[in-house]
Structure 1
């Protein structure tokens, strides 16, 4: 069981775990440290790292960015001390998230002839829409069907998200965070191109709960080439923490 799970989402973005329930979920999983990395959202924490009911909580964030070439990637910031620049960036992204969310919801409701009964609030994303669709059995779609046939890339109700450039995202995170890491590099269509970006970052997410067997050798080469720190986490969107993460020694090396 990992000592630290550094990739966890709550209801502040597209997770189902309540912020207040994080310590209980961590203890059940045998995890001592949890980084809250909600999409494009800052946490209601007074310091970059705090203690809650015997569990260490790291203020983190996951920010999607647009590189000059290739697919969009996700950056993980750890040990956040919010700056004005980061707050502005988050506000810009959240404004677009809400506009995008309303457009997707309207499209789905018109197409299926149902009322999804969802509130489009900060942190809203497509998983909220998919869950709402699945909650209506009369729609004929389950959660995965919603993505595969309605709201996934290229599907009739898909709406692209506006995201900051890689350079802007990297800069604002570097100014506000102790460590900036490339998230789940082997999930991208071109992992090699994504890993090239780590030359401008502090770390890479070496340990991750992929849903398939993966070859981590490209990550190891990037770590050696760029002198990277290692991060890791489960990318939990529910209360099942600790599916991937770091040992205590690896966590201590981050010096959060």
Structure 2
């Protein structure tokens, strides 16, 4: 019952945050620079982290921030819950997401996403989606903004290794930018599509960047395997640390 109560309090805080930040970003959209709007989005990410800590006693720790190269780069991260989509804004500087087109049509929330320069693709048309990803992804990275890619494509349980896809590797190769692999165990405390948030400590591990500037497209699969190993080895370490708690 206590977890349900705390989760309900956080839900109200989250919805309130979306309304306040969403309306603010929407109003500022025509009259401010995108860097200003992204800074506001970063504060929204920190607001979500603080709300989770206060309402649900769910905190996070990050190891490996020193591994981040100067932006831009391609972040290839685990996708386990809604947590990373809400908190990553406050963790990584100047990022954009690859999102399904329908999210941009949601009132207030979708307006805020558009105001902060997210990349929307139509997943119902895979061919066009891939062309859009390559064209707009290269443009966003060229503007100095890092892109977040979930290589497994969808949310997976903490103990599951999904099918890694090379779209993020292709973006990095096309732009000659590094890949930053990121592991975390948010799904242990906030399961995919779950309402209840368990108290605890989410562990985030940022691996050293994988450089692509001197590598060719024929190495795409080999680079993807390096990304997978970097993430999954850290997932195993996280599980071992959690077992000691």
Asked if these proteins are the same fold (TM beyond 0.5), I'd say no
- TM-score under structure 1 normalisation? 0.29
In terms of fraction of residues, the more helix-rich structure is: 2
